[in-house]
A = this chain, B = another copy of it.
Amino acid sequence: MREEATAFVPGHVTGFFSAHPHEDPTKAGSRGAGLTLTDGVEVTVRPVSESADEPPTIVLDGEETAVEPVATVLEALGVSARVEADADLPLGAGFGVSGAMALGTALAANRAFDRKLSQNELVTIAHGAEVRAETGLGDVVAQAQGGVPIRLEPGGPQVNELDAIPARARVEYVAFGELSTAAVLSGDTDRLTEAGTTALSRVVEEPTLLSFVYASRAFAREAGLLTDRVAAAIEDVADAGGQASMAMLGDTVFALGTGLSDAGYDPAVCATHPAGAMLR
């Protein structure tokens, strides 16, 4: 057993998606596309001994917190640990922070406890944990791949199918507030799924960043998910000649290049992350 291990997992902004439930959480998931981000989550796992009165704990940015998928991952690996996560990104705002915590925990715990699981096994565990907790459907598999993933078929790595847009970009974003992924996913998802399917066809036909943002914007509108603040920001960016859309699912606007700066906003700035989740 090592003293501790650390993994970095890129953030992930989904531009559009369709939900694909399945009773087996490793087969459930989403189709869609998004950007993985150089802003992400660093997760450190340290084995604890409950007999020595060291309780297992999950800490996010210095605050003890309950993150269901992380607890599920630790349980699946059969380990007792203190998990400390430092996020460049806000939780609940559409950046895949819970997925990043689950995947980072899986990778770091596998190393810290010398569990000898493969990459696909670890991604499957984290993906299943995230689906069960209803905190996300496609972030984990996208974050494991990096770049600009297209999720052609839903589910964990044993069943899904991924492609990618072969591109890199500077990314700007402003997070206005939270949206509950679970609330949206437990509602009527027919309209969302139809809009997501249309968007995916568009990006498969033309896998470029520009078509991704167009498709994402049409999806946000058609699925009825646009918040007022995001809608206004997208319009401001368009007026300034840029391209923006909404992070699914958060009250968050993201733009390519200098879209939000040019429109007079004061955005956070990062870039697409060429690599997937990785041990430090």
Contacts and interface: CB of A to CB of B under 8 A. Distances in A.
A206 B166 contact: no
B116 A279 contact: no
A21 interface: no
Contacts of A207: 116-119
A119 B166 contact: yes
Interface in A173-219: 204, 206-208
Interface string A110-125: 1100001111101000
A117 B208 CA distance: 8
Nearest to A148: B119
A134 interface: no
Nearest to A118: B207
A166 B274 contact: no
B208 A278 contact: no
Contacts of A116: 206-208
A164 B118 contact: yes
A168 interface: yes
A163 interface: yes
Interface residues of A, number: 28
A188 to B, nearest CB: 32
* 7 closest residue pairs by CB, A with B: A275-B275, A119-B164, A118-B207, A274-B278, A274-B275, A120-B163, A119-B166
A70 interface: no
Contacts of A99: none
Interface of A: 107, 110-111, 116-120, 122, 146-147, 150, 157, 163-168, 204, 206-208, 274-276, 278-279
A166 B110 contact: yes
B275 A146 contact: yes
A118 B150 contact: yes
B165 A118 contact: yes
A274 B7 CA distance: 12
B118 A166 contact: yes
Given A116-B206, A117-B207, A275-B274, A111 B166 contact: yes
Nearest to A157: B163
Nearest to A273: B275
Contacts of A166: 107, 110-111, 117-119, 122, 279
Contacts of A164: 118-120
A226 to B, nearest CB: 28
A141 B274 CA distance: 16
A279 B168 contact: yes
Contacts of A275: 146, 274-276
